[in-house]
Chains A and B, each alone.
Chain A
Amino acid sequence: DQQVKQNSPSLSVQEGRISILNCDYTNSMFDYFLWYKKYPAEGPTFLISISSIKDKNEDGRFTVFLNKSAKHLSLHIVPSQPGDSAVYFCAAIAVTGTYKYIFGTGTRLKVLA
């Protein structure tokens, strides 16, 4: 049972335009959501997080939106840069659980110069 889903395995965007990566979840008990960025042959690095009590969190070019009623979150990157080309994972965790994040399957973003 995949509790966190990223239905788009890949996305291509022109440099300077907006990249929108989507993530859906099924567990209404999730309290925090995170986005990680991963380059090939490297470990994922933390990008941005959002608490379930908020609907938006912004950090520079990166904004995460949370729609709890739809159980959907999205990561917006504006403007997109070639260095943003990577695999992006969303992850979720329930505080009442065992502090294990549940990861999505990832979306490969390619920013075209």
Chain B
Amino acid sequence: DGGITQSPKYLFRKEGQNVTLSCEQNLNHDAMYWYRQDPGQGLRLIYYSQIVNDFQKGDIAEGYSVSREKKESFPLTVTSAQKNPTAFYLCASSIHGQGATSYGYTFGSGTRLTVV
């Protein structure tokens, strides 16, 4: 079955540590996205990539980094510079181009990151 997989589902990080969240898709989608969800704030875009080896900052990129070396993979690193990293992180993918508009995104099941 085609889909998008995020791992791990739960992640605990000590303050001052970097941590990497995994996102893999086998939908042959060109574009991939990382969102953060906080209570009452909806989904906020962290980074997105529309093609391999290229990515752009979203609305809240500070303290995060990404890479897009393969079409299937878009890992997100939460660095120690991120002031408030505890949140629910969602990865998504979409067909690039016109098809993306009416079909929307396919989301993963999310990773809950907690700083301890």
Contact = CB atoms under 8 A, between A and B. Distances in A.
Nearest to B6: A43
Contact of A98 (B35, B50, B103): B50
Contacts of A9: 40
A6 B88 CA distance: 20
A14 to B, nearest CB: 25
Contacts of B98: 95
Most A CB within 10 A of own CB, among B33, B105, B106: B105
Interface residues of B, number: 34
B41 A105 contact: yes
B31 A99 contact: yes
A43 B94 CA distance: 14
A34 interface: yes
Nearest to B48: A100
B104 A101 contact: yes
A44 B90 contact: yes
Nearest to A44: B107
B97 interface: yes
Given A51-B102, A95-B101, A104 B40 contact: no
Among A31, A51, A99, A103: residue with most chain B CB under 10 A: A99
B42 interface: yes
B110 A89 contact: no
Interface string B22-58: 0000000001010100001111010010100000101
A89 B101 contact: no
B104 A41 contact: no
Given A41-B112, A42-B110, A89 B104 contact: no
Which of B41, B98, B107 has its CB near the most chain A CB atoms (within 10 A)? B107
Given A100-B58, A106-B42, 5 more contacts: A41-B88, A44-B107, A51-B102, A91-B104, A98-B48
Interface of A: 6, 9, 31-32, 34, 36, 41-46, 49, 51, 89, 91, 93, 95, 98-101, 103-106
